[in-house]
């Protein structure tokens, strides 16, 4: 069994305080201000471990950097094509999609990611 290290707790607490879906670099920079001895490798390793243990979510989008989400529950995301921000989208998770894929193709679905793309409210309001 892998023990919960002090570094892992620092990484988790930093991510939980962030209201974005940060990259490894962003989490590292946040931690580095208060804990300059923690390396980027340590942050990366602990983020991956926390995601594997389903305490947080790892988000991989095509043509984007790997991001992390403090929320581990099933939910969706919206990515703004103007500012690049990633937002949580909350509505009932359609588990029937997993069953439909299983019935039609015989696949056992463990999880799926749905990312909506478009323009966020803030960018839609900007006249530029």
Instruction: Tell me what pLDDT residue 128 has.
Output: 54
d(C-alpha 89, C-alpha 93), whole Å:
10
Q: In the predicted model, what is the mean pLDDT of residues 12-28?
A: 95
| Domain residue limits, the chain | 1-72, 74-128
HSE of 96, CA atoms in CB hemisphere, 13 A: 2
Q: Confidence band (pLDDT; 50, 70, 90) for 2? A: very low
Instruction: Tell me what pLDDT residue 58 has.
Output: 94
- Looking at 1.10.10.10, 1.10.3720.10, 3.40.50.920, 2.40.50.150, the CATH number of the domain 1-72 comes to 1.10.10.10
Residue 123 reports pLDDT greater than 50: yes
Q: What's the CATH superfamily of 74-128?
A: Ferric-uptake regulator, C-terminal dimerisarion domain (3.30.1490.190)
Nearest Cα neighbor of 77 from 94, 91, 63 is 91
Check: CB of residue 41 under 8 Å from CB of residue 31: no
How does pLDDT run across 103-115, given as a tens digit for each residue?
Answer: 999 999 887 888 9
Q: Confidence band (pLDDT; 50, 70, 90) for 34? A: very high
How does pLDDT run across 56-96, given as a tens digit for each residue?
Answer: 999 998 888 899 999 998 889 999 999 999 999 988 877 78
């Amino acid at each position: 069994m892998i023990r919960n290290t002090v570094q892992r707790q620092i990484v988790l607490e930093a991510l939980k305080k962030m209201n974005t879906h940060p990259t490894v670099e962003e989490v590292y920079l946040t931690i580095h201000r208060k804990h300059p001895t923690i390396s980027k490798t340590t942050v990366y390793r602990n983020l991956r471990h926390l995601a594997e243990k389903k305490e947080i979510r790892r988000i991989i989008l095509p043509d984007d950097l790997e991001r992390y989400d403090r929320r581990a529950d099933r939910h969706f995301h919206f990515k703004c094509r103007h500012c690049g921000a990633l937002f949580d989208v909350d509505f009932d998770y359609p588990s029937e999609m997993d069953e439909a894929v299983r019935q039609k193709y015989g696949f056992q679905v463990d999880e799926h990611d749905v990312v909506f793309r478009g323009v966020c409210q803030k960018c839609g309001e900007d006249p530029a």
